[in-house]
Structure 1
Amino acid sequence: MQINSDFSAVATVAAKDYHWVPSTQFGVDRMMLDRLGEEKARATSVVRYAPESVFPNHAHPGGEEIFVLSGTFSDQSGDYPQGWYLRNPIGTQHAPFSHQGATIFVKLWQMNKADQSTVRINTYDPESWGIENGRAVCALFEDQYETTSLQKLTPSEALFQTLPMAAPAELLVLSGDLLFDGVEYAEGSWLRLPLGNNVSVLAGESGATVYLKQGEFQNVHHKATV
């Protein structure tokens, strides 16, 4: 399966265009944003857990990154309400579930082999935030391959201070809206911009909070079995 698999091209998915697809487990649905492979895939998705849904225990040979968008996501390590950011390194396993229901942003098979970091960050905790170049930023993860953060933009503020972009970028609108290439992207929308993109990304009239990943997110270090 190939979904938005050309990393040299701009890829966008507006929240209004979500199309939910049942997973292999009853009560768990997916909106596939990009995907290279079948059930075991290098994938970026929004995953929706119905109340009292459970996913069987499984391993993550390529690692897993999660941001909880709504509800409470749980596994053996704890309960994670809206706003929690998780990284489960290569080789870890778990049996996730949700009592009340949850929607999460998930990235699979996208970690470098050397990354063995287990990360748990509550982005609703004010202590998780700082100021960088005059902007509120919540640092989530950084290594030589990627930098991942939340960015709070004021109304009409440009996300990138210089163009063309010096590194590929991936965005998920967490609140507010963004304007890109004349199109408005509301909360829940996803954009992936290649190296050298020269189009401004601006916050809307009410500002925006954005998940931002920059670097080698195509990640050639791991290939999922198709």
Structure 2
Amino acid sequence: MRINADFTKRAAVHFEDTPWVPSPAPGVERKMLDRIGEEVARATTIVRFAPGSAFDAHVHDGGEEFLVLDGVFQDEHGDFPAGSYVRNPPTTSHTPAAAEGAVILVKLHQFDPADRTEVKTRADGGAAQQQLFQDAVETVTLQTWGPHHAVSLQAPGGLEVFVVDGSYSENGEDFTRWDWLRLPPGSRFDATAGADGAKVWMKTGHLSQMTAQ
């Protein structure tokens, strides 16, 4: 399976226009943003857990990072309410579940094989920009833009932007809650927040390796 698999091109997915696809676990559905592979894949996905649903225990050979968008995501390591950001590096394992239901943004098989850095943090809704993670390759932030705020930045290593709340426009295209945009390395990101502002999850610097491949 290949979805938005050409990392040299701009890619955008709008939440409301994308169907839910059942996963192998009963009660767990997905909206696929990008994907290379079948059930074990390099993937960026919105995952919805119905109340009481769960996956079987599994190991993340290629690592996993996720942002909880709604509800409370759970595993044997704790409860992660909306706003939680977690990085589970390669070789870690868990049993995902959601007793009351949850929606998460998750990225799989995108870690350096030697990465062993674990992150468990909560987003600070009051910060204009909160750094969630940074290493030599990538930076992950949660940003809050005021109404009609203009944002302009270079993306030499590529960029992903996911709308947590609010809206913005870029290149004549409107992005609203839970929409996703990916720009290839060497791009420029020019956006303007909507009338109510925007809260976005942004990752930069991480796509150069994919375009080189």
Structure 2 length-normalised TM = 0.94
Report SS of the residue matched to 1:115. Answer: coil
Instruction: Quote the offset at 1:167 in angstroms.
Output: 2.8
Match of 2:16, SS? helix
Kept after mapping to 2: 8 A contact 1:112/1:219: no
**1:111 touches 1:219 (CA, 8 Å); kept in 2?**
no
Distance (Å, rounded) in 1 between the aligned partners of 2:70 and 2:42: 24
Aligned to 1:133: none
Preserved contact between residue 153 and residue 208 of structure 1 (Cα < 8 Å) = yes
Q: Structure 2 CA distance, aligned partners of 1:104 and 1:198?
A: 28
Deviation at 1:211, TM superposition (A): 0.3
State the distance in 1 between where 2:189 and 2:178 align: 20
Match of 2:146 in 1: 154
Alignment partners' CA distance in 2, 1:47 and 1:80: 15
CA distance in 1, matches of 2:30, 2:195: 30
* Equivalences for residues 137-148 of structure 1 within 5 A: 137-148=129-140
Q: CA deviation at 1:168?
A: 0.5
Aligned to 2:175: 185
Identity %: 43
Deviations 1:150-170 (A, max 9, x none): 01111222333x45x333100
Structure 2 residue runs of 5 or longer lacking an equivalent are none
What are structure 1's unaligned runs of at least 5 residues? 130-135
For 1:203 and 1:125, how far apart are their aligned partners in 2?
17
Residue number in structure 2 paired with 1:49: 49
> d(CA) in 2 for partners of 1:38 and 1:218?
23
Asked if structure 2 preserves the Cα contact closer than 8 Å seen for 1:15 and 1:185, the reply is no
On the 8 A contact 2:23/2:30 being kept in 1, the answer is yes
Return the offset for 1:125. Answer: 6.8
Where 1:200 maps in the other structure, the secondary structure is strand
Count of residue correspondences: 211
Could you tell me which residue of structure 2 aligns to residue 210 of structure 1? 200
Letter in 2 for 1:182: G
Q: CA deviation at 1:182?
A: 1.0
Partner of 1:29, secondary structure, is strand
Q: Which residue of 2 aligns with 1:34?
A: 34
Separation in structure 2 between the aligned mates of residue 198 and residue 123 of structure 1, nearest angstrom: 26
- Alpha-carbon RMSD across the aligned residues, in angstroms, is 1.6
Give the TM-score taking structure 1 as reference length. Answer: 0.89
Partner Cα distance (2:192, 2:125) in 1: 26
